[in-house]
Structure formats: structure tokens, C-alpha cells
Structure 1
Amino acid sequence: MESKIGADQAQNSVYDKEIGNNLSTDESSFLGNILREILYSPMNLALLAIICFLVYKIVRDRTEVPSVGVSKPSEPELPKIRRDFTVKELRQYDGNQPDGRVLVAVNGSVYDVSKGRRFYGPGGPYATFAGRDASRNLATFSVVSNDKDDYDDLSDLSAVEMDSVREWEMQFKEKYELVGKLLRKGEEPTNYDEDEDDENVNNDDAEQTNSLRKHLPKSKTETDDKNQESHILQGNNATKTNAQDEPISTDC
């Protein structure tokens, strides 16, 4: 019995060995046929070269590290402006002029949104807001261009819509430069240059007064301070004396 089992196992091993040899022979012949097809066919060689080139480009693009210090040239910064605009004057700043400046009005204030030109400039998703009063658009979530020539007082908007306008106004204040205000019909523009000049003059006068006081003789300064202090004390004592002499009113 045992000899029979051993004979069967030996026969099976021989059979498996023959099958393995046949499979290896088939695989080698299959690969050999593919290589012969590629090497002896110019078209297949060309296709193989193209595939290798594409694989090389994909691997190179994924592994290539961008060079340090190479950055895109920044756009020149536009000079700041400070003035008020009518609705018609605001139309000139829609980003299509040579300097590319973009202004947008929100709730009566005009903002310079030039640094957000990819949103509000020509071709941007909100290009219809450029050079316009965008308050109603922001309140109603509309991108239809507001081409009205008159000042829009937003009086017909609901409370919820006005809250939306105010929220947008806060965002514009945080992100963009305030230029001025949008003028109503008949309203005179503010002369911001005169306001700044007056402020500068007041500051200069204060500096000059302080510098002159520093250059006065020390005795002179101390004398003036003491005289002023004595006058204040005398006035306070007189006030206290008068207050003691007068009867306290009970009408309160």
C-alpha cells in the first residue's frame, strides 16, 4: 500500500514538473514574440519612444522642485486717491482705463478694490460691480449691472437686505482702501486736501509752541507757573467762601 502511494506521488511530481516547464516555455515564447514585434516594426518603435517620453515628462513634472527666489513680477501699486464721486464720475473707474483702477461704492462709500481686480476687474465674476454702486446687488445677491444714473437711497429695501448691505460694507472697510463717498444729487464734494492742510497746520502750531516754551529761561517758566497756580488757588478759595455765605437751595 505504501509503495503504491509513493509511486503516485512520484508520478504527480513528474507531471507537475512537466506542466511548469511547459508554462515557462509558453511565457518565454510569448515575451519573445512581443519583443520581436516591437523591435522589427518601425511604427511600434515610434510608439514605444513616445510612451517613454510621456512617462518621463509626467515623472519630471511631479518631482521637479520650483526654484527658490523666482516669483511672479508684482503689479505696480497705484497711488492713493481721496475724493468724492457722483454716480456718473464713478463709471470711469471700471478697470478698463489705462491704469486699471477699480472703484466700487457700498452704502454711500467708495472703495478702491484694485487689489481684488481678479474678482471685480474685467472678466471677473463681479465685473458688473466695477464703477457702480453695488449696494443693491449685494443686498439682493444679484450680479446684474446697476446702470442707474441717479443716487440709489435703498429706501425700498427690507430690514434683512439692509443688514446684508451693512455686513458687506464692514468687509469692504476691512479689506479695501476708503476713497470717499458717493454724492447725492446736489451734494457738494468734500475738499479733503483742505482738511488735511488744517490738521497739519494745527500740529505745526502745537509743535512750535512747545519748542518756544522749551527755549524760555527756566526762571521765567517757573515764575509763570507759580503765578498761574496762585491765581487758581485764590479763585478756588473765593469760590469756597462765597459758597459758605450763600444758603443751600432746597428746591432740588
Structure 2
Amino acid sequence: MSFEPKQKVELDAPKDDVISIDYLSKCDGSHQDYPTYVAIKVCRAQVYGTRQAYFDQQGTVFDVSGNKAYGPEGSYKVFAGKDASRALAQSSLKEEECRPDWEDLSDDHKKVLNDWYTFFSKRYNIKGKVEGATNM
């Protein structure tokens, strides 16, 4: 996965607003009065002796409003208005996989999730954190 955008993107300074799950759900690209958001958790690895454990570091909300792929007719509409961490980790477009839990996934999937977080962070403005994220 290439992390750098083809054209340079000027991003705003990240915001740390608290965004409720209810508000996030309205940011699904179908409401003109709301932006289009996708939330992603990045999982950080912590090594304990010979074991590696992952823990949730972020519930970061990205503004993807400018990308039609996340709109109502877009190929990635399934991610809009949700914490899509599990689906992204599994490279899945299934509605039922668009949820925040990822802890039971393989290390390979956790790496993919972290790669998606990096990909989004180089392209989209960070608008805040999902209410209840463990890093708050």
C-alpha cells in the first residue's frame, strides 16, 4: 500500500473534538447538512517479554467529504458514518464488518489496520476522536 498521495495534500492541524457515535452516524454522506466522516482505530503494539499485545490507541475521525467514493453512491460508502476499523483491517466491504472491534484479529490484519490509518492520515483532515475512545 502506498501511503503518499499522488498529489500533495495540504491538511489542517488535527482537531481533538469529541464526536459522539450518534453524530458520527449522521456523517454517512447521505445528509447534505453533515460532512462525511470515517473513524479508524489504530492498534499499537506493546511487547511483553516474548509476547506482543495490541491495544487501542485512537478512535480518530477523518473528514472524507471531498471524496465521492465515500458518498451514497460510492464504492466505499459502507465505511462512511462509522468506525470502520474491523472492515478496513480485513479489507472487507461488508456492512456487518464495519465496527470498531479488532482485538481478536490476526497480527497481519492489525498491521493492515495500522496501514489504513497511515493512509487516511496523509489524505484527510482529522476532526476529532470518537466519544469513549480509550485514549481519552
Kept after mapping to 2: 8 A contact 1:112/1:179? yes
Alignment-derived partner of residue 164 in structure 1:
112
Cα deviation for residue 172 of structure 1 reads 0.5
1:178: which partner in 2?
A: 126
Distance in 2 separating the partners of 1:109 and 1:163: 17
- Which residue is equivalent to 2:9? none
Where does structure 1 lack aligned partners over 5 or more consecutive residues? 1-79, 191-252
Secondary structure in structure 1 of the residue aligned to 2:38: strand
TM-score of the two chains, using structure 1 as the length reference: 0.38
Say if 2:60 is the partner of 1:109. Answer: yes
Percent identity reads: 33
| Corresponding position of 1:140 | 90
The answer to whether the 8 Å contact 1:102/1:113 transfers is: yes
CA contact (8 A) 2:86 2:101 kept: no
**Structure ID, larger Rg:** 1
**2:27 matched to which residue of 1?**
93
**Structure with a larger share of its residues in helix:** 1
When the two chains are superposed, the root-mean-square deviation of aligned CA atoms in Å is 2.5
Unaligned runs of 5+ in 2: 1-13, 42-58
Match of 2:18 in 1: 84
Q: 1:146 to 1:110 in 2, by over 3 A?
A: farther
Checking the alignment, whether the CA contact within 8 Å between 1:132 and 1:147 is kept in structure 2 is: no
Greater relative contact order structure (CA < 8 Å, 6+ sep)? 2
Equivalent positions of 1:55-74 (< 5 A) are none
SS of the aligned residue for 2:19 comes to coil
TM-score, normalised via structure 2 length: 0.67
Distance 2:90 2:107 in 1: 12
Runs of 4+ in 1 over 6 A off after TM superposition: none
- Shift of the alpha carbon at 1:169? 0.3
Counterpart CA distance in 2 for 1:152 and 1:104 is 11
Number of residue pairs aligned between Structure 1 and Structure 2:
105
Supply the distance in 1 between the matched residues of 2:96 and 2:82 (Cα, whole angstroms): 7
Cα distance in structure 2, aligned partners of 1:81 and 1:173 = 12
- Answer whether contact 1:85 1:180 (CA < 8 A) is retained: yes
Deviation at 1:146, TM superposition (A): 4.3
CA distance in 2, matches of 1:145, 1:152: 12
